[in-house]
Amino acid sequence: MTESVRAEAPEGSAASPEATAPSSLRIAVLDRDSGFIQVLSKRLDRLGWEHRVLASPVPPEAVVSMRLSALVVDLAVLGPQAWTWLERLCEALPELGIVVCTGPSTVAQRVRGLRLGADDWITKPCHPEEVIARVQSVVRRRRRTTSRTETKPVTAGDVEIRPDRFQAYVDGQSIDLTRREFELIELLASAEGRVLEREEIYSRLWGYTMVRGDRSVDVFVRKLRQKLEKASPKWRYIHTHFGIGYRFAAESLEVVDPNVVPSSLPAAWEQDPSDQRELAGPHEDQQLPAGSV
């Protein structure tokens, strides 16, 4: 059973700030929690979004015909077939933003859902504003992905970045990057040498504000840097600016930037321990005291 709702903005009402975020959205909510649906629907009405409430699972083929921007789904509604349904839907509609909004779950369940193709996972009880913000974030990322087909390749050093293929290459050989790692190198390269703060990177890749102490950006930068150095050992691409963030610029290992601490020391420095102690800076993951940069 399905219930269709067409939300119209009240005549003469002022547009809310949220309405300026991805507009003309068409979403569906697959859920049976009447209280959650009522509160969320009222908020969507005020935004002027088209939305549809699905009270029971529908075939992935039917979802295709709805021409949705995003789907909010409670996997508990799907029962034992939840994983199979989610996988089939993600395969049929790879461009559809999918936000799982369900009750308490295990780490294994969340990881499985995200690996099958869900874009985000929210645990109930949750505020409708968070659901809307997550949907907006997912749609923004999806729209950026769609625009990649028209984006020209970016070449830096030995690396060629191909947004249309979600791949980076060195001498024609693909670098084994995860989706998040590719999004990271694409973001850094698009800054054209500008230093990106950790908070900005997190906001643009994860879609929401970074929690104090979260080291996700540092972890992904380290993994990406290691893969780039392995594939292209004659160049250094990602530079750490301690206490600030990261900068992408292809620089030969023969050129040393005195303002940036390298990820590894040249072999010549290792011959003199005193030089090594003087020149080696703190590890890339260490945070310097405020005002030391």
Q: Of 117, 113, 83, 81, whose CA–CA distance to 97 is shortest?
A: 117
In this predicted model, what pLDDT tens digit does every residue of 153-186 receive, in sequence order? 889 999 999 887 778 999 889 998 888 899 899 9
CB 210 within 8 A of CB 202: yes
pTM, rounded to two decimals? 0.47
- Do the domains 151-279 and 2-146 match in fold? no
For residue 95, give every residue at least 6 positions away whose Cβ sits within 8 Å of its Cβ, in sequence order, or none.
Answer: 142, 145, 146
**Tokens 């077939």, residue located:** 81
For residue 219, give every residue at least 6 positions away whose Cβ sits within 8 Å of its Cβ, in sequence order, or none.
Answer: none
User: Quick one: average pLDDT of 128-135?
Assistant: 92
Tell me the CATH architecture of domain 151-279: Orthogonal Bundle (1.10)
Helix, strand or coil, per DSSP, at residue 137: helix
Helix (H) or strand (E) holding 3: strand 2-5
Binned at pLDDT 50, 70 and 90, residue 225 comes out as very high
Domain locations in the chain as residue ranges: 2-146, 151-279
For residue 10, give every residue at least 6 positions away whose Cβ sits within 8 Å of its Cβ, in sequence order, or none.
Answer: none
Comparing 4-18, 23-37, 75-89, the range with the smallest average pLDDT is 4-18
Above 60 in pLDDT, residue 213? yes
User: Quick one: average pLDDT of 48-57?
Assistant: 87
Largest CA distance in the chain: 76
Q: Can you name the CATH fold of 2-146?
A: Rossmann fold (3.40.50)
Tokens of 143: 């729209």
What pLDDT is recorded for position 261? 55
